[in-house]
Each structure stands twice: as structure tokens, then as C-alpha cells.
Amino acid sequence: MEKDSKTINGVDTEVETKDGFILDEVRGESLKSSRPTVAILGSGDYSRSLAERLVRSGFPVAVGSRDPDRNRRLFPQGAEVTTRRAAVSRADLVFVAVHRENYPDLRADQDALAGKILIDVSNNTKIQKGESNSEYLAKLFPSSTVVKAFNVVSAWTLSSGVFGGSKEVLVSSDDADARQTVMQLAKDMGFAPVDYGSLMAAREIEAIPLRLLPSWHLALKMSFGVFVFLLLYSLYRGIVFKAIVGDPNIPFQHIPLHYVNRTMAGTAITILCFVYFPGVLAFFLQLYNGTKYKRFPNWLDKWLLARKQLGLLCLFVASIHACLSVLDFGPASYGRHYDKTTVTSEGDVVFGKMRWSGETFLLFGTLAFFLMVVLGVTSIPSVTNAMNWREFTFVQAKLGWVVLIFATTHMVIYGAEIFILPGLFASYTIAGFQITLILPAILILLKVVTLLPCISSRVDRIRRGWEAKVPGRAEAPNNGYQGDEMTAL
């Protein structure tokens, strides 16, 4: 180890070096001196987390507060807490970390903010229409450049370092140079900036933190609607109708497990149908239109986009059904799938074994469930990225249909021996498992139609750009393609 003399802030300092490299402390001071001073207006929780992250990233930080003496102890060492005017006067980049209603208070320092880049990090308590906070700030300070950024990054993410929360920072501004400056700042802080364009995009950016699972709304509504319908239908047949006709044996005690488990089974297979139904509908719409260039109806577009969420909800419901089945399955609840228990003349009890229907019923249910787990695993981004397109299509399309067929077979075998028994229709309705089988039966039939060579080849040509001849529209060239290959849905 040898000694070396370096100058820091005008003072000669002797530091230890090894193999000619300056120690981390010296490099940190050099980095800090090369970076611009950043001002933060506001002294709340977000301001403290932001100041901590900036200091750790090597930026000189000046915090502008209405009461510097009281708030100084709350900020990390390395962040100077002073008045707003003093903080703004020494910085070109200014974080505005105050609420929208406090923006007018900043006009007292409007001359000091002139020519500065104001980074608006504010959010709202509810989604608002019209003017965004950033656009309002730009109107109040026309001589400054307003950039919307960092509002989707939480205070916890700022404080937690490398491993906490999402690293995306959405940036929008009417000034392209200011956008690039803030994006570089975000990179220096360890984030991944995303250019969102003009300041008008701030309306969308400010709405993002207020949305609750936006891509899940349709899937959740569809799944919950199916569950409620099937549960009420099952309770009507098993509880309400018996009460109406005066049956003394009303099984209230079986509602939490047995009836809910039946409902979960029907819900899972119905949601699985919802995953593949929009693809089949899109197939027939393209066949009818004779072109792939006509947009699908809005409702079908939304349904197509919700397929991943529907698939994950199907796996969730099927997992609950599998767990409840383990608890509920036995001769008492599923007696028709077991041989009768007998007692010999010597008094020995011979328990009935599971019949073919019970074993086959469980076999196809187990296969369907574990293949569904495979589908769920392949939807994880890290797994998806490790697969090529052909592998992903095979798993999600071809294997998905195998899951549907196995699940349908599981349900058919469940009721095979009682499918047409008069007792099923005593409540003037069909059984719940029969209702559940209607949708998969229709879907599988439509899928078989799509596989017919005369139909599949035509749609395949359409998906490659061919258009049917329509009065008033010229037929697109086929380029010699005969359409004799099938394309996965």
C-alpha cells in the first residue's frame, strides 16, 4: 500500500492507493463533484426518500423547506436543508414534491424557478379527467420547463436500493432535451426511464398509481359472475327447492365444503372455456369477413387481451377445487364411485373399493390440473422468455386444448352413470354438472369445425394476407400460396 496526494474541494489530502487506483471515498467525492446539484421542494416522506436516493447516487442535494431548522434532522447526511429560494438558486433540476393545492405557494419564488427544469412527482387521490397536475404546474410557471417523472416510483422503492419495487420511471415533457436530461438522471439513480412523449401523457401517467389491477377487471368480473351463478344454482337445487317441497333432510352443513367444491369445479372449467372461446370466435369472424385487416369488435378485443388473466384465475380456482376434493372425496359424498361396504357372516367389515368411474374420474381430473399448472408456469415472464415462439404456441394453444378435453372428460365421467336419471330433474332444472358441460361441448365442436381442411386452409390464407373478393374491393394477390398448411389459433 502506497500513499498518494489528491486535492478534494481545494484541500490537499493524502490518501492510500493500491496499484495506482484511488480509494472508493475519493472516487465518490470526484463523482459527486461532477454531478449537478438537485433541489427538492418539500419535506414530506417522499422528499426524504428521494433525497436519500440522490445522495447515495452521488448528487449534491439541496432541500427547500418552509421550516428548515425543524426538518433538518429528518434528512440524511449529505442533503442540505435550507429555504426554498436558497435551494432553487443553486440547482438546475428541481423536484417539486408538494401537493397540487400547494403549487400556487411556489409562485413567491417564480423568478428563481425561471429557466429551471421542474420535475413533478405528484399524484392524485382519485383519477381525474382533463388537465393533469403537470399541465397545471406548467401554466403557473410558463418560464420553467415541466417534466412529469418518478410519480410511479414509491417512497419505499426509493429507499430500498437495488432490490426494491419496480425500476421503471415514466417521463413526459413538451421539451425533448428536458426529457433526456431527466431520463439520464433516472439512469444515474439506478432506474430504467421510459420516454412517454409530450406533457399531455402526464394525464395517463398520473392515473397509473390509482388503478387497481386494470388488466384484471374483465377477467375478475367474468370469473366472479360464473362462480355466483353456479353457486346460487347449486344451492337452489340442493337447499332451496328441498325447503320449498318440505323435505326434512336439508343439508345446510354441507354448504361450506361440498357445495362450494362443486361450484369451484364448474367455475374452473367454464373459465378455461373463456380462455379459448375468443380465439375461436376470431377465427370465424376472419372467415366471415374474408380479411384479417378488419378490426374485431371492441368487446372481442378486450376479451382476447384478458385471456392470460382468465387462465391464471382458472388455475387459482382449480387449485382450490383440488384441495377441497382431497378433503371431501370419499364414499359418504361420492358413494356411486365406490362399491358397497358389506359385513360378512362372521362380522367382518369389507369396505367397498373405488369403482372404474371413480378412478377414471380422478385420473382425468389430476391430469387436467397438473397440465394446467404447466400452462401457468409457462406464463411466467422468465419462463416465457426462455421459450421460442413455436414452443410457447404449442404449450399455450395445443396443450391448452388437451387440458380442456381432459377437464371435460373428468366432468363427463363424474355424471356418466346418472346423466339421464329422473331424479336429476326433480327440481325442474338440469343438474349443475350438466350446465357446466354445455359450454365446453359447444367449444370443442367449434374447434373441430376449425380443423376441417376446407375451412382451416382458407383462414390460414387470410392470416397470411389474402383477402376474399368483395364487390367494390380488389382481391389481394396470393403470391402463389395455396393455403394447405394450418396455423395455430
Superfamily name and number for 35-210: NAD(P)-binding Rossmann-like Domain (3.40.50.720)
Question: What pLDDT does residue 153 have?
Answer: 93
Percentages of the chain per state (helix, strand, coil), in multiples of 5? 60, 10, 30
Of the candidates 434, 416, 418, 423, the residue with the CA atom closest to the CA atom of residue 357: 416
Neighbours of 476 (CB within 10 A): 16
Question: What pLDDT does residue 6 have?
Answer: 43
Q: What averages of pLDDT result for each successive group of 10 residues across the chain (489 residues)?
A: 43 43 46 79 94 95 94 92 95 95 95 96 89 96 97 89 77 97 96 96 94 90 97 94 90 92 96 96 94 93 95 96 92 83 76 87 95 92 88 90 96 86 82 93 96 94 85 50 35
Question: What pLDDT does residue 16 have?
Answer: 44
Question: What pLDDT does residue 212 have?
Answer: 81
Is-contact 47 40, C-beta < 8 A? yes
Question: What pLDDT does residue 435 have?
Answer: 93
Which residues on adjacent β-strands are paired with residue 80? 62
Which residues on adjacent β-strands are paired with residue 342? 350
Question: What pLDDT does residue 488 have?
Answer: 35
Q: What are the residue boundaries of the structural domains of the chain, listed by start?
A: 35-210, 214-463
Question: What pLDDT does residue 350 have?
Answer: 75
Question: What pLDDT does residue 34 have?
Answer: 73
Question: What pLDDT does residue 471 have?
Answer: 57
Question: What pLDDT does residue 460 have?
Answer: 93
Tell me the DSSP string of 402-413.
HHHHHHHHHHHH
